[in-house]
Amino acid sequence: MPDNLQPEWLKTLVKAPLTSRLRRKESLKRFNTWRIGGVAECLIDVVNIADLSFLLPFISKHRIPWFILGKGSNLLIPDTSWPGIILHLSGEFKSWKPLENTSLTHKINHISAGAALADVTFAQRCANQGWTGMEFLIGIPGTIGGAVAMNAGAHGRVTAESLLQVDWMDMEGNLHTSSRNELVFRYRFSELNGNFGKIITSAVFQLQQTDQESVEKKLLECQQFRMEKQPYNQPSCGSVFKNPPGDFAARLIEDSGLKAKKCGNAQISPIHANFIVNLGGASSADILTLIETIRETVFSKYSIYLEPEVQILQSSEYN
């Protein structure tokens, strides 16, 4: 769209006194772990609370299609152009801060982490202190905000187990703090989601103090599992489907004869059947075709309808 035909909301936004960087016509391929996607009309690297509290009401007022992302894992971005705003959290949202320990035994530690802090960074920093409970995050290529929002988990643990409280912002730009007990968490679900108008800004976790050597050993085990059992060196979104009750999506897909199946430049991984990898130049249509093939084939054979874990980029209610 030529500059003289740019949306009216964009003409207003470029004049706003933001600290955050605003980019026009930005490719989204490097903002997600599948390395797939079209061009966004506007992408903003949101670096602080003040800018976020301006942008969310602005989006609401002008009814702009929008989406918020961190590292873009667990996300499929269509190859078509995105007509609205992508909010990419950065800056102060990458914070990590141990909080004062008031426990007499000093065996419990509270850590505040920004929504944009990488899961891997969080896990490594906690391990360096000998704090256990969140080692599994080392194998999840997302951010703390995403981990809380989807209640990410691995190796028998989930994010909500160690969660103490969450700071989040509503679409009017107001900050809220909710304790773990005030929130609903289920398998790969929480009510704290941009689609519900609740944007996580930071979270506080409660971890147990132990010796650094044992935490680092767990961390290494989680890393080795990922390297041996998952296609860690190829672009993917992580697990594509949720595990159905009492079973594993990967087993159902593999036993349906779909492992290593290709569509264009996308492939159901020969290493782990619940991963779809980009072999280089894959399109979102390639990925979607494989997703639908898996769902239809598994349902036909087992009468089990696999539910996607991956989120497909869609705007909020503002269309």
Q: Among the options 73, 190, 236, 239, which is catalytic?
A: 239
Q: Among the options 188, 191, 216, 254, which is catalytic?
A: 188
Checking if the pLDDT of 288 tops 50, the result is yes
Checking if the pLDDT of 216 tops 60, the result is yes
Does residue 197 share a domain with residue 140? yes
pLDDT confidence of 22, banded at 50, 70, 90?
very high
Q: Reduced to 3 states, what is the DSSP secondary structure of residue 127?
A: helix
- Mean pLDDT computed over every residue of the chain: 91
> Cα(259)–Cα(244) distance, rounded to whole angstroms?
18
Residue 239 is a catalytic residue: yes
Q: Reduced to 3 states, what is the DSSP secondary structure of residue 165?
A: strand
Kindly report, residue by residue over 165-205, the tens digit of the pLDDT: 999 999 999 999 999 999 999 998 999 987 788 999 999 99
Q: Is 292 exposed, middle or buried (0-12, 13-18, 19+ CB in 10 A)?
A: exposed
Does residue 105 share a domain with residue 85? no
Checking if the pLDDT of 207 tops 70, the result is yes
**What residues make up the domain containing 273?**
249-312
Residue 221 is a catalytic residue: no
Residue 188 is a catalytic residue: yes
Q: What is the pLDDT of residue 118?
A: 96
**Two structure tokens written together for 165:** 């409280």
The answer to whether residue 131 sits within a structural domain is yes
Does residue 262 share a domain with residue 224? no
User: Residue written as tokens 């991963």?
Assistant: 275
Q: Which of 33-42, 100-109, 146-155, 284-293 has the lowest mean pLDDT?
A: 100-109
User: Residue written as tokens 């002008």?
Assistant: 62
pTM listed for this prediction: 0.90
Q: What is the pLDDT of residue 102?
A: 56
pLDDT confidence of 101, banded at 50, 70, 90?
low
Please, which residues have CB within 8 angstroms of residue 79's CB and are 6 or more apart in sequence? 36, 37, 38, 283, 284, 285
Kindly report, residue by residue over 69-88, the tens digit of the pLDDT: 989 999 999 999 999 999 99
Last residue of a domain, one of 69, 92, 115: 92
Structurally, the chain folds into a number of domains equal to 3
Does residue 277 share a domain with residue 183? no
152: nearest Cα among 82, 74, 53: 74
